[in-house]
Structure 1
């Protein structure tokens, strides 16, 4: 790019060529060039960003949003209305008190070279969680204090999600080496749990089931038995019934799993590992919780896990077909299973049969 050019295409290209907004700083040559305006006309100032791949908006010293490009409007669709709104009214709750103070100091008093860098995390039931890095820079006009500021956003939602999941996928792979349950078992439990959660989304009484809940349980259900990584192999893989002492050791996998997952930012991971063997009537383990004391995520995974366990061949039992499995589960309504949740499961149990058929190991057929 020609650094002496004021051509909007050159400016936009220079921004879009960056691999990451992390390359930007108040001293960035791109920014020094880009934010020099020869006109007070807002459309001219923002012309380079109209078709930018980076979400960008323009604010003034009154913190009013003067312009948001298409990428910015697309990013925040379902979360915020941007046009002609006040920046703090839109993003205030997502930023937090300290960040708001720092932004005010940058814009009004020139702190940190009239610049600020931070992050925003926001959520709606329909759209889920959105996490972005945020960069605020002044539009430089000679030696004058800036009147307008560029705010750039970098969506890191998927990046952060994949980073977190990669850590626990490693744990999951390690636990699979110890357990004779097939890898397809945990895949199916994920699918069953996600499908049942989707069924709850539009039903009254299940407001906690939002887009994040559905997506999270579709991954975290597979972690329900990760605590078995601490269970002795001779107990875990024993053919035939366990002794009372062995059964006591086996049941510790719920607590072990909760400990392993205790640092995971989403509490659902720990909830599922700890509580998926609790029963609605209070006769489960490890704490004999009953009814709605058991987290909804664990109640969902309980139905998914039991269904798949019935369908699978184990060292101590033959595999049951779908209809036999459903009949057995009916007897446990209100005992093992949340009765209202089980009734909803019964409206879609045919889809569990399809999931099983589509995700079966060769040695299970």
Structure 2
């Protein structure tokens, strides 16, 4: 049987299963089942009930018959498992193409009636969980085709996140060698941006901010100036104003940063590096985009970056106190910064001051 035939058969079985379920009567539950099959499933349940690894037992038609505690715990915020078809529970996360591939594989003798792949599950409130999934056939005594399936899940969310972050943390360390002012500055910008996002999460009009956004900006905000790795030292550390040609070179750090971060799987990294010097009125750089054309992540980081830069002593300026920095940010509302975000900033500016004082250079 070809993969295409297997997929068609799987879809027919799903439709049949749905029809049978809706047509069930009380008497249908009393129909005798094969005792060996019942014993077999009971043993499987008992074996995996307390297993620390998330496990599902599926019927021949891919209906979830059992989810152990570890599996329920892993997916509790994402899916309703027991009693659902596998496609109903995980179909949206997998997408139609992968789901068809999966059904083709588990009905294909050539592919060992098995499948493995990644499932990315996400909700606004709980963020993303990334799992490796492995589906294997189970056989009843004397059966040549699967009577059930078993699915194992491996949560690789933290492992994947740590691997990605370790690569880019090394870039941050390299950027510190180029600019001595960046040490605590980038840590504080992370903290400002994260707190900003946490406040916006509960506000109407910011549904795009979810738990992933909060976690991501709390790390990626620090990458905003990573492109300065390519900026000459004599320009970075020059005392006093830059000449016009020097300023042109300095502005290139936004494009350099976007290029460096272009391979990062989360587009927020590139968005922040490229756009954190754009201005609400379209007078920023590198592309003079304006208003909501500027990604929200970059608009947040722009305020956080400028506030902290005002507070710091630099080679070309003295440090400003909190009140003076606040007045500058307010003055630039509607020109440099998104005015709606400045309104939020004014409500939480005391938290910015606290972050600065607790993480001072």
TM-score interval, normalised by the smaller of the two chains? 0.7 to 0.9
Aligned residues: 325
Alignment of 1:36-47 (within 5 A): 40-41=38-39, 42-47=41-46
Q: Which deviations, in whole Å up to 9, do the C-alpha atoms of 1:121-173 show, x marking residues without a partner?
A: 12111111111000111223344122111101001111111111111111111
Question: In 1, distance between residues paired with 2:109 and 2:96?
Answer: 19
Q: Which deviations, in whole Å up to 9, do the C-alpha atoms of 1:325-352 show, x marking residues without a partner?
A: 1112111111111000110111111000
CA spacing shift, 1:274–1:146, aligned 2, 3 Å: same
* 2:204 is aligned with 1:185: no
Question: In 2, distance between residues paired with 1:204 and 1:121?
Answer: 27
Secondary structure of the residue aligned to 1:335 is coil
Which deviates more from structure 2 when the two are superposed, residues 213-222 or residues 163-172? 163-172
Secondary structure of the residue aligned to 2:254 is helix
Which deviates more from structure 2 when the two are superposed, residues 113-122 or residues 189-198? 113-122
Q: Is the 8 A contact 2:62 2:149 kept in 1?
A: no
Q: Which deviations, in whole Å up to 9, do the C-alpha atoms of 1:44-69 show, x marking residues without a partner?
A: 22111111110001101111100000
The match for 2:120 is 121
The match for 1:223 is 223
Cα distance, 1:105 vs structure 2? 2.9
The match for 1:76 is 75
The match for 1:139 is 138
The match for 1:94 is 93
Alignment of 1:166-177 (within 5 A): 166-177=166-177
Q: Is the 8 A contact 2:226 2:273 kept in 1?
A: yes
Question: In 2, distance between residues paired with 1:247 and 1:106?
Answer: 58
* 2:48 is aligned with 1:49: yes
The match for 2:104 is 105
Q: Which deviations, in whole Å up to 9, do the C-alpha atoms of 1:23-78 show, x marking residues without a partner?
A: xxxxxxxxxxxxxx965233322111111110001101111100000100111111
Question: In 1, distance between residues paired with 2:100 and 2:126?
Answer: 28
Q: Which deviations, in whole Å up to 9, do the C-alpha atoms of 1:9-31 show, x marking residues without a partner?
A: xxxxxxxxxxxxxxxxxxxxxxx
CA RMSD across the alignment? 1.4
Question: In 2, distance between residues paired with 1:325 and 1:105?
Answer: 61
Question: In 1, distance between residues paired with 2:289 and 2:297?
Answer: 14
The match for 2:236 is 236
Which 4+ stretches in 1 moved above 6 angstroms? none
Question: In 2, distance between residues paired with 1:360 and 1:345?
Answer: 20
Question: In 1, distance between residues paired with 2:99 and 2:286?
Answer: 44
Secondary structure of the residue aligned to 2:351 is helix
* 2:329 is aligned with 1:329: yes
Secondary structure of the residue aligned to 2:205 is coil
The match for 1:198 is 198
Cα distance, 1:314 vs structure 2? 0.6
TM-score by length of 2: 0.87
The match for 2:316 is 316
Question: In 1, distance between residues paired with 2:335 and 2:306?
Answer: 13
Q: Which deviations, in whole Å up to 9, do the C-alpha atoms of 1:208-260 show, x marking residues without a partner?
A: 10000000000000000000000011111111111111111101101111111
TM-score by length of 1: 0.86
Structure 2: tracts of 5 or more residues without a match = 1-34
Question: In 2, distance between residues paired with 1:104 and 1:249?
Answer: 55
Q: Is the 8 A contact 1:105 1:111 kept in 2?
A: no
The match for 2:258 is 258
* 2:262 is aligned with 1:269: no
Q: Is the 8 A contact 2:225 2:257 kept in 1?
A: yes
The match for 2:151 is 151
Secondary structure of the residue aligned to 1:242 is coil
Secondary structure of the residue aligned to 2:62 is coil
Alignment of 1:1-12 (within 5 A): none
Question: In 2, distance between residues paired with 1:246 and 1:123?
Answer: 45
Q: Is the 8 A contact 2:37 2:140 kept in 1?
A: no
